[in-house]
Amino acid sequence: MLWVGHARNIGGTGSSDWPHRGNYRRWEMSLPVSFLSDFGDDDEFVGVVHGVIAKLSPGSRVIDIGHRFPRGNVKSAALALSRAIQYMPEGVCLAVVDPGVGTKRRALAAETSWGMFVGPDNGLLSPAVAMVGGASRVVSVENPETMIPSPGETFHGRDVFGPAAALLAAGDAALEDLGPVLGDDELIPLLLPLVEAKGSTVAGEAWWVDHFGNVQTNIAPEDLVVVGVGPGDTLTVKVGSTIHSVPWVTSYGDVGEGDALLHVDSVGLMALAVRAGRADDDLNLAEGVPVTRGANRPAKAK
């Protein structure tokens, strides 16, 4: 079946025949599309992908998870997607952080109990797909009739992933129309570091620095409980050769302005923050920096 076969002139004359959709629909209402990328907001790229989706699936609502992730940083965007996906409406997830665009890396579409995921096979999709229970089917997006032909190979968000997501959302294509079926274990995994508990300390790393300068780590509360510390304790936090004493509290208001704190963040991991300040600046932290935590002494009651 031809899905976007009349898009042959989109890069030149802008043919009014585009898009040409299939002659059947798999469901009555279009599915929402949750969209994440590293395209930023300085150029037209996000808007163009929105336009492609609007042409192919005009009834789909597009939810922008975010587009200002560090350019080409697959790990950062993959972790963000895994944090966000459980709050997105079931439908289609379009994720494009693709430093390998134009190479032999595969373009994938995966079916899960949540819905469908579309993006590059570079580890970007794997954590979120695992978060919703894993993939039941995976295809390699290869059918040229579901793509927008382009003289270049640098904007697959527009030419490959966007059309695939839109056709799935509209119900104008089934997963297998996009390309050959792969094994459900063929998504490239995202390799993430594990925490290491030794004696009374837990070694991990900073995973994410948010807009406010709060620093999420890969250390869970349970990792600290295992080595004998818990809420209300003051911990030693080692960053490089510098050691900080930081209380484990519930909220920012439990410490004075300018003071550092350790708390369980909104996704259940341990995070460092500074009330009315930035933990990344004050504690010299960035994504990937090793962080070691251990027992110190009980925190003083306020």
Give the three-class secondary structure for 123. coil
Q: Is-contact 274 261, C-beta < 8 A?
A: yes
Same domain, 67 and 208: no
Same domain, 143 and 291: no
Supply the range of the domain harboring residue 69. Answer: 5-182
Give the three-class secondary structure for 33. strand
- Radius of gyration, alpha carbons of the chain: 22
Residue 2: pLDDT above 70?
Answer: no
Mean pLDDT of 165-181: 97
Same domain, 117 and 153: yes
**Which pLDDT band, with edges at 50, 70 and 90, does 26 fall under?**
low
Mean pLDDT of 139-143: 97
Same domain, 217 and 281: yes
Which range among 9-23, 128-142, 283-297 shows the weakest confidence by mean pLDDT? Answer: 9-23
pTM for this entry:
0.86
Residue 70: pLDDT above 60?
Answer: yes
Mean pLDDT of 212-227: 96
CA–CA distances in Å: residue 100 to residues 80, 96, 142, 178, 261? 20, 11, 16, 20, 39
Dist. CA 246–CA 299, nearest whole Å: 9
Mean pLDDT of 181-195: 87
**190 in a structural domain:** no
Same domain, 170 and 83: yes
* Omega before 193 within 30 of 0, i.e. cis: no
Mean pLDDT of 140-157: 96
**188 in a structural domain:** no
Dist. CA 182–CA 52, nearest whole Å: 26
Q: How many domains does the chain have?
A: 2
Residue 21: pLDDT above 80?
Answer: no
Q: Is-contact 95 84, C-beta < 8 A?
A: no
**126 in a structural domain:** yes
CATH of the domain at 69: 3.40.50.10790
Domain boundary among 119, 153, 182: 182
Dist. CA 68–CA 46, nearest whole Å: 11
